[in-house]
Amino acid sequence: MNGTGYDGGHNDDGYGYGDDGGYDDTYDDRPEEHAGSAPEGRGGPERTFGALPPAPGRGFATSWWGLAWLKALEDAALDGEQLKRGRRLAREGRVGAVSVRPGRITAVVRDRDGTAHRSDVLLQQLGEGAWDRFLDMAVDRAGHIAALLDREMPPHLVEDAAGAGVELLPGIGDLEPECSCGAWDHCPHSGALCYQVARLLDEDPFVLLLVRGRDERRLVDELQERSTARAVRDADGGGPRTADDAGGEARGVLAGEAFAAAGILPALPAPPPVPAEAGAGPSLDPETAPPPGIDPAAMEVLAADSAVRARRMLLDALAPGHGGQPLPVELTARQDAVRLAADTRPEAWIAARLASGSGRRRGELDTAVDAWRYGGVAALTVLEEDREPGADSLARARDQLASAWEAGERPVLRAGGPSRWTVVGADVQLRLDCDGRWWPYRKERGRWVPAGPSDDDPASALAGAGIATGAEEGTTAERGTGTETGAG
């Protein structure tokens, strides 16, 4: 149909129209042009997509928005037979290069006999008022634009846009055909064009936004400007939008969507300063009796522990190379009881509960806390487990023990387990962990307790802990027993 009144203006409700509605006799079928070219043509930016190959035996749309486009076409067409012929032409690859610009989509479609027809489909552009509302909505919900940049159009984007008075997808009667064949309704040529456009929309929903009046570059630039302006306004005291501003509903953004939107969001603020120490927890001493099973004093310990952990996590996050560090090991309940006691230094009765809850006696918990402070999970494992080293690790350990001291200074060592060696004549012990590090221990009141941090060298581990070994010349292993530096 011709003379539809599409005059390039816009009306008061925020909607405008496409270009002049006339034919461009200079248009031709140029398959060598591809998506991505964006010349400023008559009526604004333009993208040209090369002719798509035939599509036998497949649907023209798989995305929900592509299907919505076809529904708008099929619900409005008066002659279903004409659309069937259009689908056939599209399947056979008879639609040439598709030109997309604000308000208008154009292609040359060839009949089976080779006759070429220029076919256009017109769709109302959004006016400036509608785009303003859309952009404000998008800045509030960065995940929407992140999805578009990932070539997705989530349903809630369309719903939120409609809530702002902006209809993105066409409805019944919104796709206006024009064709050189002279048909006044959708003909096979305009139908074939619409089916082919559905394939383009599947790959890139920005095609729809271009027809509505904004190309991708301009849209992203305007979002960047608005995001920056809002950040500046908030920094000047304007304050961020609240849940009430968004209609009473607080909305979150998926982390993946926020990351994808990095190119359109303002720069992050400077990291916060790290406090010198963890903050004091609140007092939970209630005026009334707490419910059964709730211990206010225990809750205060947990609150204090949360503050300690939060400060430590902040320090770790700001440390150079944090992104390349492995994820922390997830603690068992038994290990976490030791960490909690080490971090919070609880009162005696709380410590007794932690010991009981982790299957330890009170003295065992104190020893475990000492180990934790020397080396965390690794030190705690060495205290409580005597793991069998592999053959290679055991051979390296023997070599280290044999060469760690100068002649005449080496202590006599007796194997006390798969990974433990005791100095003969002294209450001193070396323990080997699974990473080949040595941990010094001393015996106090009949119990082995950690005496210092680990070291790659066994002699340095003992010396660093200030342990005198009562060294004798040569090891028992050197005297030929073969049992002293072995693992049993």
Q: 43: which residues sit within 8 A by CB, 6+ positions away?
A: 8, 18, 19, 101, 102, 103, 104
Q: Per mean pLDDT, which range of 59-73, 155-169, 280-294 is the poorest?
A: 280-294
449 has a pLDDT exceeding 90: yes
450-465: per-residue pLDDT in tens?
Answer: 999 999 998 888 887 7
- With contact defined as beta carbons under 8 Å apart, do 410 and 473 qualify? yes
> Whole-angstrom Cα distance, residue 417 to residue 471?
21
Please tell me which of 27-36, 194-203, 262-271 the model is most confident about, judged by mean pLDDT: 194-203
SS3 at position 123: coil
HEC string of 46-89 equals: CEEECCCCCCCCCCCCCCHHHHHHHHHHHHHCCCHHHHHHHHHH
> Whole-angstrom Cα distance, residue 92 to residue 323?
52
pLDDT at position 382, please? 92
Strand partners, 455: 438
SS3 at position 449: strand
261 has a pLDDT exceeding 50: yes
Q: Tell me how long the chain is.
A: 488
What mean pLDDT value characterizes the chain?
78
Q: Are strands 176-179 and 40-41 parallel, antiparallel or unpaired?
A: unpaired
Phi, psi for 400 (deg, rounded to 5): -65, -45
39-54: per-residue pLDDT in tens?
Answer: 443 445 899 999 988 8
Quick one: what percent of the chain has pLDDT higher than 70?
78
56-95: per-residue pLDDT in tens?
Answer: 766 788 888 888 899 888 888 778 888 899 999 999 999 9
- With contact defined as beta carbons under 8 Å apart, do 14 and 126 qualify? yes
364 has a pLDDT exceeding 50: yes
First to last CA, the chain: 96
SS3 at position 348: helix
- With contact defined as beta carbons under 8 Å apart, do 201 and 207 qualify? yes
Cβ neighbours, 10 Å, residue 197:
28
9 has a pLDDT exceeding 60: no
Long-range contacts of 111-116 (CB under 8 A, 24+ apart): 111/188, 111/189, 116/29
Which H/E stretch holds residue 167? none
pLDDT at position 154, please? 78
> Whole-angstrom Cα distance, residue 105 to residue 193?
8
> Whole-angstrom Cα distance, residue 441 to residue 452?
7
Read off the tokens for 334.
């038994």
Read off the tokens for 464.
């660093």
SS3 at position 115: coil
> Whole-angstrom Cα distance, residue 32 to residue 45?
18
pLDDT confidence bin for 265, thresholds 50/70/90? low
> Whole-angstrom Cα distance, residue 176 to residue 106?
12
392-416: per-residue pLDDT in tens?
Answer: 888 888 888 888 888 778 888 888 8
Q: What mean pLDDT do residues 92-99 have?
A: 93
* Closest among 206, 41, 207 to 121, alpha carbons compared: 207
pLDDT confidence bin for 235, thresholds 50/70/90? low
DSSP string, 236-277: III----TTTTTS------HHHHHHTTTTSPPPPPPPPPPSS
Task: Considering only residues 44 and 480, tell me which one the structure prediction assigns the higher pLDDT.
Answer: 44
Q: Per mean pLDDT, which range of 42-46, 200-204, 293-297, 472-476 is the poorest?
A: 472-476
7 has a pLDDT exceeding 60: no
